[in-house]
Amino acid sequence: MTVSQIDVGFGHALRTWRTRRRVSQLDLTLRTGTTQRHVSFLESGRSAPGRAMIVRLAEALELPIRERNDLLLTAGFAPAYPESRLEDPALEPVRTALERVLRGHLPYPAVVVDRHGDLVSANAGFSALVEGIDATLLAPPVNVPRLLLHPNGLAARIVNLDVWAWHVLDRLDSELARNPDDELDALLTELAAIAPPRPRNPPADHLGFAVPLRLRAGTADERELRLITTLTHFGTAIDVTLAELRLEAFLPADDATAALLDEMVGRAARRNSD
């Protein structure tokens, strides 16, 4: 690849990300402390970017660090951020911290997933929640959005599936709009094809601030769980793997749900100890 090809490739990538983020050239210059002329020249390939400028531009556009590495590579520079395997001994403190967080949520279900929603780790509360569903959906790699919306997964037990399915799909679609990814796009297409029609009217079973996941406790247990989901991520991660991890917790929306989750986890623990 020639220098001019690198410059043009970087310029196209920069312009694509700036457009996707809906940031004007002028706004980008103000964020990075450069000139609009320089940004224009970078996008047209008339100027070659320096490494420090690429990092500043990527930060200003709030790119995930995987995409920051890609932008550096496009311009002919080495990646700035490492991508470790979660099993790497250097990440032992992180794995320990994640397991403590998962245990700390008990008896409430919680999972750690990667950028595609594939399961990295789960606590006993989540294991109790998915007990009895199709074993093929629990074979690694387990994809949590698919587990939620597949007819052989939790979808058969979700009381407000029409609302909840589109809550999941809209979140995936929003992520794709900000950070395109072929695997995530394929997952969205797959799940949209099996989702019920989108409701025409706003949900009536909201809590005033969120729509709960209404879920029957088990295949033979018609009692209903009302759950609120939360998402947490590493805000200061400088490793690609860590930056892409998400903790999703399923918290009780009422006392009855809290008591039922406690019962489910206790029952599962007794079975496992027998």
CB distance 197 to 234 below 8 Å: no
The whole-number pLDDT of residue 269 equals 85
The whole-number pLDDT of residue 209 equals 61
The whole-number pLDDT of residue 220 equals 80
Q: What pTM was computed for the model? A: 0.86
Provide the mean pLDDT of the chain: 90
Return d(Cα 85, Cα 168) in angstroms, integer.
Answer: 27
Burial label, 20 (beta-carbon count in 10 A; 0-12, 13-18, 19+):
middle
The whole-number pLDDT of residue 182 equals 94
The whole-number pLDDT of residue 206 equals 63
Q: What is the pLDDT of residues 127-178, one digit of tens each?
A: 999 998 999 999 999 999 999 999 999 999 999 999 999 989 999 999 998 8
The whole-number pLDDT of residue 8 equals 67
Which of the residues in the chain have pLDDT under 50?
Answer: 1-3
Report all structural domains of the chain as residue ranges with CATH numbers, in order of start: 3-74 (1.10.260.40), 89-273 (3.30.450.20)
Q: What are phi and psi of 110, to 5 degrees?
A: -155, 145
